[in-house]
Amino acid sequence: MIPLFKVGMSADAGRLVSDVLSSGYIGQGPRVEEFEDALRERIGNPNVVTVNSATSGLHLALHMVAGAGGPGGADVSVPGEVLTSPLTCTATNWPILANGLRIRWVDVDPATLNVDLTDLARKITERTRAVVVVHWAGYPVDLDRLSRILDDAERTFGHRPVVIEDCAHAWGSTFGGRPLGNHGNIAVFSFQAIKHLTTGDGGLLVLPDPQLAERARLLRWYGIDRDRGQSFRCEHDVAEYGFKFHLNDINAAIGLANLAEVDGRVARHQDNAAFYDRELKDVAGIRMTERADDRQSSFWLYSLLVQRRQAFMDRLAERGIDSSPVHHRNDTHSCAREYRQLLPGLDSFADQVVSIPVGWWVTDTDRQHIVDVIRGGW
């Protein structure tokens, strides 16, 4: 079976982890600092804070800018809302509920599988504390248009909702020639096991300014300033309570090993995707997603809209090819029932989304086999 996902692990990871295990220091320590320095250089933004998962990163981001206290200028006497996409992993949206905020679903654009920015603009109100956008499969949302929408909202409502970019699929993606994490928003990356860059499990916040980064650095470890000698043996005053969201040196060592190889992995995803773009563009029963010149996807997934999805998946499975919708719409879950609303865009294609293997492990022979099977019909 050609798998849809596979763990990419550097052969050097074991040695680096072994060094940590024998060092006597396996918590958040020098390897975390080294990893963060490397991430600052790679992303091109100095304001980075590692965490133990992207879910923790999203929770912390929402806590800081949309939870208790709200964003600057927002009226917090009314329940805060967060605009978000229902087409994503539940890890994107459950942190909204965990922060005591209300979800307001934004429709999904069938051309990109990202949020429909026209619908998003209509749904911003005085209650909107934040906007969460997911770069589905690694394909960036139009961040320039989103910024203009928020300019209008700020003029109308007197405050600007904070944008949180869910970049879980998007390590290596660019918009306007710049890596994600450099567009004035909060960006949250995932280093979970099967992502382009893995630390075993982990995540990263990239912040728009040093003040927010410093606050995140404190809040990921209970609000305690470790750099000033605060510890469980010598606790000083904690001005703002925090969480246990920090990365440890074991995970950081894995990340350092894999960071040296991730560019090659992303390039192979992109090359396989370009092959599919050429070879599948005229296949009946398939609708391809958008490719715009101002952005580059990392293609963590290669998603298609297909007619008779189950038959398509069954046919691929018969020929040794894994496939999956990967994520199902979040708005159908019981815990989010009260937020349901009409989403005609998503309704029009939700039963058609499927992803096929595109990763670094897919060989030239594999991808030709996948194309031949799809061309043969289902």
Q: How far apart are CA 63 and CA 17, in angstroms?
A: 32
What pLDDT digit, counting tens, does each position of 45-91 carry?
999 999 999 999 999 999 999 975 444 444 455 679 999 999 999 99
| CB burial string 259-291: b at 16+ within 10 A, e below | bebbeebbebbbebbebbeebbeebeebebbee
Q: Are residues 248 and 137 in the same domain?
A: yes
Q: Which DSSP string do the residues of 267-292 spell out, in sequence order?
A: HHHHHHHHHHHHHHTT-TTEEPPP--
Q: Are residues 207 and 267 in the same domain?
A: no
Domain assignment of residue 359, yes or no: yes
Domain assignment of residue 2, yes or no: no
Q: pLDDT grade, residue 148 (50/70/90)?
A: very high
Q: Are residues 196 and 311 in the same domain?
A: no
What pLDDT digit, counting tens, does each position of 92-106 carry?
999 999 999 999 999
Q: Are residues 267 and 255 in the same domain?
A: no
Final residue belonging to a domain, choices 237, 259, 281: 259
Residue with tokens 């894999």: 258
Q: Report how far Cα 245 is from the mean position of its chain's Cα atoms.
A: 17
Residue with tokens 């995140």: 216
Domain assignment of residue 5, yes or no: no
Q: How far apart are CA 356 and CA 324, in angstroms?
A: 7
248 or 75, which is more confident:
248
Q: Are residues 27 and 144 in the same domain?
A: yes
Q: Domain tally for the chain?
A: 2
> Three-state SS for 164?
strand
Contacts of 299 (CB under 8 A, 6+ apart): 137, 138, 269, 270, 272, 273, 358
Domain assignment of residue 212, yes or no: yes
Q: Are residues 61 and 167 in the same domain?
A: yes
- Label each residue of 173-212 as H, E or C: CEECCEECCCCCCEEEEECCCCCCCCCCCCEEEECCCHHH
CATH number, domain containing residue 188:
3.40.640.10
Final residue belonging to a domain, choices 210, 244, 259: 259
Q: Are residues 304 and 225 in the same domain?
A: no
Q: How far apart are CA 73 and CA 76, in angstroms?
A: 9
Residue 217, burial from CB neighbour count under 10 angstroms (0-12, 13-18, 19+): buried
Domain assignment of residue 126, yes or no: yes
- Segment holding 19, helix H or strand E: helix 13-21
Q: Are residues 287 and 213 in the same domain?
A: no
Domain that holds residue 323: 262-375
Question: Would you say the C-alpha torsion 205, 211, 217, 222 has a positive or negative sign?
Answer: negative
Domain assignment of residue 84, yes or no: yes
Structure tokens given for 32: 């975390």
Q: How far apart are CA 131 and CA 164, in angstroms?
A: 6
Q: pLDDT grade, residue 237 (50/70/90)?
A: confident
pLDDT score of 254 more than 60:
yes
What pLDDT digit, counting tens, does each position of 161-200 carry?
999 999 999 999 999 999 999 999 999 999 999 999 999 9
Q: Are residues 330 and 249 in the same domain?
A: no
Q: Are residues 50 and 172 in the same domain?
A: yes
Domain assignment of residue 151, yes or no: yes
The amino acid occupying position 179 is P
CATH number, domain containing residue 287:
3.90.1150.10
Exposure of 56 in the CB half-sphere (CA atoms within 13 A): 22
Q: Are residues 63 and 163 in the same domain?
A: yes
Q: How far apart are CA 167 and CA 246, in angstroms?
A: 19
Q: Are residues 215 and 164 in the same domain?
A: yes
Q: How far apart are CA 188 and CA 48, in angstroms?
A: 10
Q: What DSSP character marks residue 376?
A: T
Cβ atoms 169, 138 nearer than 8 A = yes
What pLDDT digit, counting tens, does each position of 341-355 carry?
999 999 999 999 999
Domain assignment of residue 252, yes or no: yes
Final residue belonging to a domain, choices 259, 280, 307: 259
